[in-house]
Amino acid sequence: MMPKDIRGSAAARQIDSFYRSLFRPGEGHLWTAADLDPASDGRRVHFTGQCFEGALSNGPSSAIYELNLREGHVHRIAKGRLFRNSLDTRTAHVEPGESGEQLVIATSGGERITVIPVTGRIESLMWSPSGRELLVLAADVGADVAGVEGGFAMRGAAPAESWLPEIITTTSQDLWRRLYRWSKGAEELIPVTQPPVNVWEAAWLGEHTAVVVASDHHGEGSWYEASVRLLDTATGAERSRHTPTDQIGVPVGAANGQRWAVIEAFCSDRGLVCGTVILGEEGVARPLDLGGVEATDIRWRSSSRLLFSGLRGAETVVGEIDVVTGERLELWASEVLTIGGWYPNAVPIGNQSALAVIEGYAQAPSIARFDGQEEHILARFAPSDTNQIRGTMRHICWPGRDGLQIQGWLVLPDCVATNLPVLIDIHGGPVSAHRNRYAASLRAGAVLVAQGYALLLPNPRGSSGRGQDFARMVKGDMGGEDMHDCLCGLNLLVEQGIVDPARVAVTGTSYGGFMSAWLVTQTNRIAAAVPISPVANWYSQHFASQIPWFDQNMLNGSLHQSGSQYFDRSPAFFASGAKAPTLVLAGGRDKNTPTGQAIELFGALAEARVDAALAIYPEDGHSLRGYPAYIDSAARILDWLDRHIGQGFDENGRSIRL
């Protein structure tokens, strides 16, 4: 039996102790950074930082910080996020308002010029090359957020009585993403676009044009068919359009207005684009050769030099290309460390340097500068007396069933690495990739390693960083060879004597949640499973999800055709063969893989008399990244694995079998 409240359990105490030591709640300790924006003087960089100002269960709060690049001092300057420096000494940022968000325009010294209330959520801010105007991209109050951000519908600022129904119609008008413009002296934002143009991303192209990724519908699924468009920022009129083969993201425009660039790739999630850089100039679009690197982020350093970040197999790479001559310069590459959050990203500074947030399995996030092949740490956030991350992480390779080389990461505890219980974590996507991130970027991973578990983090076919052909191998075969790629990695560890074949668990979120559920129904090698935000039934998923395009593109056959993959790859239809104890976790607000999917999976397993449990967090969305759900779900994972494959722990949480 799993109680509703497990906060007094040994597993909860272990998780609480780990995260208290890591985040130092209540101490105002800054622990990570994102969204770096260098000032025009090259002496400062602003960023959004997070710290746990109050209780751990309250989660982190975001604020804007300034790093003095000469002295290394970091200090907080404002509430909010998205701080942007202009070239003419003005700044812009977003902060909470009385009834939503507000845009703050200020001088570089911090004196406020104007404050503009905004209905909805501001998603990006961009100063024009001269700094005279600002583009503002904002989502309406009812718009969905992408799966990587939680996969839920935003709620309006005005609270309604709790008994009133939630209304969804096909003609709602508060669901769009719109582009606005602010000019000096203005006290309100000027609309640039109107429905049916839905802008997902935008950037300046010279002083009077925006290069945008846009579609003609507001639905999340329409992003997959979006195009690159050049718009007049005064009128919103479309000047030209580029339609990609697959998906696109990260538009950037040169300051002189002559060139734009975008990343084109086969994608599974909005906001996660890893592929080929397409350069547009004089009405022609062509790919750039980045020397085997799949780009995840691009920024113009000048009108002809483009900084790129990306993946080359297991390596994270930061480089630069002259788009006129094709000459490339590699600023930094590492297999041991990585940069960025979901995907690598870096920003140019000076004539030949870049800044990024760097991390590794046992190295907490820091701000670093790259001037060549070496990184120079400018600001460390982890306390000097904290060393909570146990074990070591290394890159490994193995052959799939068909001989294709598969890659992944292995984390081993500090004890003798033989006959260990193992947790296989399958990443989301499927077009994504595990990297060597801090604490493996898993909610319970580092605690499990400290207690004697191994972690296997496979990057099966369909993963990022191995080229577009490799990524497309999952199309029409989710739950096929990608599943066997994971099992072949397990075989390697069993053959080497590292893993106990009787103590194998699997988990994952989204696509990883589907794969976790699928493995339970397809093999008897799994002894415990924890699918998070899974898909159990592709047929019902199609009609309930915010992204029906996903299954239509990834599965073979029609949802109206009996025997298609809508049925043949749905875990709920194969639950009668499952035996592994399964804990299903989901968010009540999830529209990416709706909550009903978790309920269907649990129901099918329960009917098959599998030892199963279901935990739904009513206020959370996709992937359970909110607090206190993140902490609570980590404790439930630890408890579930301890009961079914674990080492066994004493009352203080120490392993009793090592």
In the predicted model, what is the mean pLDDT of residues 604-626? 96
When pLDDT is averaged across residues 413-439 and rounded to a whole number, the result is 94
- Asked if the model's pLDDT at residue 489 lies above 80, the reply is yes
Report the percentage of the chain scoring pLDDT > 70: 97
Q: What's residue 651's pLDDT?
A: 46
Neighbours of 362 (CB within 10 A): 16
Q: How far apart are CA 495 and CA 396, in angstroms?
A: 14
Give 382's pLDDT tier (boundaries 50, 70, 90). confident
Residue range 288-306, pLDDT digits in tens: 999 999 999 999 999 999 9
CATH 2.60.40.10 at 392-644, yes or no:
no
Q: 522-538, pLDDT tens digit by residue?
A: 999 999 999 999 999 99
Q: Write down the domain spans for the chain.
A: 119-148+175-287, 294-382, 392-644
Residue type (1 letter), 192 = V
For 30, other C-beta atoms within 10 Å of its C-beta total: 22
**Among 591, 573, 590, 571, residue whose Cα is nearest residue 582:** 571
Q: What is the pLDDT of residue 172?
A: 79
pLDDT of residue 645: 95
Lowest mean pLDDT among 117-121, 273-277, 296-300, 479-483: 117-121
3-class SS letters over 588-633: CCCCCCCHHHHHHHHHHHHHCCCCEEEEEECCCCCCCCCCCHHHHH
The DSSP annotation for 39-94 comes to -TTSSEEEEEEEE--S-GGG--EEEEEEEETTT--EEEEEESEEEEE-TTSEEEEE
User: So what's the pLDDT on residue 652?
Assistant: 47
User: How is domain 119-148+175-287 classified at the architecture level of CATH?
Assistant: 6 Propeller (2.120)
Q: Tell me the pLDDT band of 649, cut-offs 50, 70 and 90.
A: very low
pLDDT tens by residue, 15-51: 999 999 899 999 888 989 999 999 988 899 999 999 9
Dump pLDDT digits (tens) for 585-607: 999 999 999 999 999 999 999 99
Question: Mean pLDDT in the chain?
Answer: 93
Buried b (16+ CB within 10 A) or exposed e, 583-616: bbbbbebbbbbbbbbbebbbbbbeeeebebbbbb
Q: Kindly tell me if the per-residue pLDDT of 102 is higher than 60.
A: yes
Q: Are 461 and 413 in contact (CB under 8 A)?
A: no
Given a contact cutoff of 8 angstroms between Cβ atoms, the answer to whether 481 and 461 are in contact is yes
Supply the Cα-derived Rg of the chain in whole angstroms: 24
